[in-house]
Amino acid sequence: MTSFNLVESPFDPKTAVVDAVVNAGDPWIHEIKKGQVFRILDLEGNQAVDTLFYNARDPEERYSAADTVRAQGALYLTAGTQLMSTEGNVMLTITADTCGRHDTLGGACSCESNTVRYALDKRPMHSCRDSFLHALAHHDGGLTKRDITSNINFFMNVPVTPAGGLTFADGVSAPGKYVEMRAEMDVLCLISNCPQLNNPCNAYNPTPVRVLIWDAPSQ
């Protein structure tokens, strides 16, 4: 799936039941009920949003990058992608996407990866793993560092080379671009609004994003 699949949403931000801004480098954790629609909006462009999903009723079931890629037969996520769990269940379905392509292979940055990839003096820099751990430490769901597994990097551009390697390239998003998904079960969403400064995934300038939730449309 290398082409960009652009689909706009019919939902109006004025009717959202949750509307919040997540500052650069900050975490955000929230439960999304089955049927609700969740949007992440890139306010200033080229901002990677590292995201984890858990079954809100049984957190041992969580998002699986491997199962998602295998189910759709493509590496990138976009409108129509079903986000699969470790138990083979659909957690969310991407229903709208004005960016067109999202990564689920590059993982979340950490002090260890910053050290290995860039330089020893990068170790103290803030990372997505730090944000995840901070959010979980202040959440009463019983999740710990062992629960930080494969994640999605919304808006992040991670091309795969012909040899199978990963590269971190300039983003493909822009101000106002968004991705939207419908929850197919009650899910716990954990976000790190990526603080990375060592590669172009955030255009070397991390910025805020906006998150919105709508209740399930009435039948």
Give residue limits of the domains in the chain.
23-214
Q: What is the pTM of this model?
A: 0.91
Statement: residue 8 has pLDDT above 90:
yes
* Contact (CB, 8 A) for 56 and 31: yes
Q: How far apart are CA 182 and CA 219, in angstroms?
A: 15
Local structure of 56: helix, strand or coil: coil
Could you read off the pLDDT of 72-120 as tens digits, one per residue?
Answer: 999 999 999 999 999 999 999 999 999 999 999 987 765 555 554 544 5
Could you read off the pLDDT of 90-99 as tens digits, one per residue?
Answer: 999 999 999 9
Select from 199, 198, 195 the least CA-distant residue to 207: 195
**What's the pLDDT score for residue 119?**
46
Strands (E), the chain: 18-22, 27-32, 37-42, 49-55, 82-84, 90-97, 152-154, 177-183, 187-193, 209-214
Could you read off the pLDDT of 24-54 as tens digits, one per residue?
Answer: 989 999 999 999 999 999 999 989 999 999 9
**What's the pLDDT score for residue 69?**
96
Statement: residue 1 has pLDDT above 60:
no
Local structure of 151: helix, strand or coil: coil
